[in-house]
Amino acid sequence: MSLRDKTVFITGASSGIGAATAMAFAAEGCRLLLAARRAGKLAGVGILARERGAAAVHSIDLDVRNHFAVQTAIDELPPEWAEIDILVNNAGLSRGLEKLYVGKIQDWEEMIDTNVKGLLYVTRAVVPGMVVRGRGHVINLGSTAGDITYPNGAVYCATKAAERAINDGLRLDVLGTPVRVTSVDPGMVETDFSLVRFRGDAERAAKVYKGVKPLTAEDVADAIVWVASRPAHVNIARVMMTPVQQGNSLLFARDES
């Protein structure tokens, strides 16, 4: 299915998987509606997306944790951007890596507010229009962490387990409409994810990927575009993807040499 001139809304589009997804859809000639908190970085992504072939780009300075801001942003879109064909719920993060009983409550709240409530807020604002128009595709970013909980990551893993439940529930709730719903669940991906988790500690972040050739943001973006481009009668319910050296969220075959 051609994606040319489709309107694609990507949250968390200023870096990492979100930015790579913007580039991948730009190469397909899509119209990109990009949202993130970091307006400066988002503007740079928009410029590169136009160079890559995007039919048009419209950026929104948006924090998905703010329900009112999300709804207002969607309600006030210019008419030519109001009909969203593909929603990529990418905004998300992890904070900290501590045992649950000593975890920082502010870290929990940031993860839950972004990864779960933000996902819900954006979905609630966008999907009704898809149902009314009789077309649309929601692609949610999950994680292998939603399958198997790893030590010191209980709350992050819980948010990704919630994403999976929300994704599957939405797919059932739109049954009988042409709207499609997909979860793309990567394992280890080398982005700023670990740098954010460890609040800028580059040395600690680098150790996460030691001895493993991880996925890239572009690998995940390629999968996202692939599921979006399937024929209209085909719904890819879930894609789980890992590096070859990863078995699950706990098991890695690290190169010790």
- Confirm whether 256 is domain-assigned: no
Residue 34 lies in a domain: yes
**In 68-179, beta strands by DSSP E:** 86-89, 137-141
* DSSP assignment letter at 145: G
Q: Rounded to the nearest 5°, which phi and psi values hold at 160?
A: -80, -30
Give this prediction's pTM: 0.96
What is the CATH number for 104? 3.40.50.720
Residue 35 near residue 27, CB atoms below 8 Å: no
Is residue 249 included in any domain, yes or no? no
Please check whether residue 35 lies inside any domain of the structure: yes
Give the DSSP H or E segment for 123.
helix 119-133
Residue 168 inside a domain? The answer is yes
Q: What is the pLDDT along the chain (257 residues), one digit of tens a residue?
A: 899 999 999 999 999 999 999 999 999 999 999 999 998 999 999 999 999 999 999 999 999 999 999 999 999 999 999 999 999 999 999 999 999 999 999 999 999 999 999 999 999 999 999 999 999 999 999 999 999 999 999 999 999 999 999 999 999 999 999 999 999 999 999 988 888 888 888 898 888 999 999 999 999 999 999 999 999 999 999 999 999 999 999 999 999 86
Residue 29 falls inside a structural domain: yes
Q: Known catalytic residues?
A: 156
Residue 207: inside a domain, yes or no? yes
What the block records as the tokens of 61 is 């300075």
Domain of 112 in residue numbering reads as: 7-241
Q: Which residue has the tokens 């998300």?
A: 92
DSSP 230: S
Q: How far apart are CA 181 and CA 183, in angstroms?
A: 7
The count of domains in the chain is 1
d(CA 6, CA 28): 9
In a domain, 212, yes or no: yes
